[in-house]
Amino acid sequence: MQIAAIGHNNPPEPTPIERAQDAMAVLASFLNETPVITEGPHLVEAKRLVEHATGAMAEMEAERDKLVRPLNEQVSGINAKYKAIHNSDSKKPGTFDKVLLELRARLTAFAREEEAKRARAAELARIAAEQAEAVAREAERIEQEARANAAVGEVDTGVVEAIAIADRKFAEFEHASRFAARTEREPHSASEAAPATR
């Protein structure tokens, strides 16, 4: 007959979580039975329960830290490896982030330069349109003067030529006006509108 070794029937030691749950149950029971601390024994028991609860929580936290620490170190290693290249935290960019930021900076600089070119081209087109209008208005004045002179019987006033010049100058003015408007809206537009007549 074989005799069982001593201690084989002992239940396993409770885990820190189980001890914390037991301490919480005792504390809950005390709170239910003692709504108000009014006497010395209650005070002594309350202090003992505080120490017991604090110790149980510390033991549970120590076990949690022991289990989690290797995982946290592993996570930190993974994060360090990946975040050195790309980090979603814009305050700590990785190498890839910095390269992309450089490209974006260049794109921004290009866009600003293009906008400045567009503004310069639009301004030049506006000035050209104003000048073309002044020339057209002068040609119109000359045409009207030639017509008036012909109306009072003056010979060889050049009315036909004045009309042709005025028509041409107004067509140039309208073309310049359309080009200025198009340049303001679409700086790279190459399409040309047909010249208009007065």
Q: Return the pLDDT at 190.
A: 39
**Helical ranges in the chain per DSSP H:** 16-33, 40-83, 95-151, 159-185
pLDDT of residue 197: 40
Tokens at residue 160, please? Answer: 């036909």
Same structural domain for residues 133 and 197? Answer: yes
Note the pLDDT of residue 195: 39
Residues 120 and 68 in one domain: no
Domain total for the chain? 2
pTM of the shown model = 0.50
pLDDT of residue 7: 54
State the pLDDT at residue 187: 53
178 within domain boundaries: yes
Residues 195 and 121 in one domain: yes
Looking at the structure, tell me whether residues 122 and 61 fall in a common domain. Answer: no
Query: What pLDDT sits at residue 153?
Result: 78
Dihedral sign for Cα 117, 121, 122, 123, please: positive
Q: What is the pLDDT of residue 31?
A: 93
Q: Digits of tens for pLDDT over the chain (198 positions)?
A: 455 555 566 788 999 999 999 999 999 999 999 999 888 998 999 999 999 999 999 999 999 999 999 999 999 999 999 999 999 999 999 999 999 999 999 999 999 999 999 999 999 999 999 999 999 999 899 889 888 888 887 777 788 898 899 899 889 989 999 998 888 887 554 344 433 444
* pLDDT value of residue 19: 93
| 153 Rama class: left (phi>0) / alpha (psi -120 to 50) / beta | left
Which domain range does residue 154 map to?
116-198
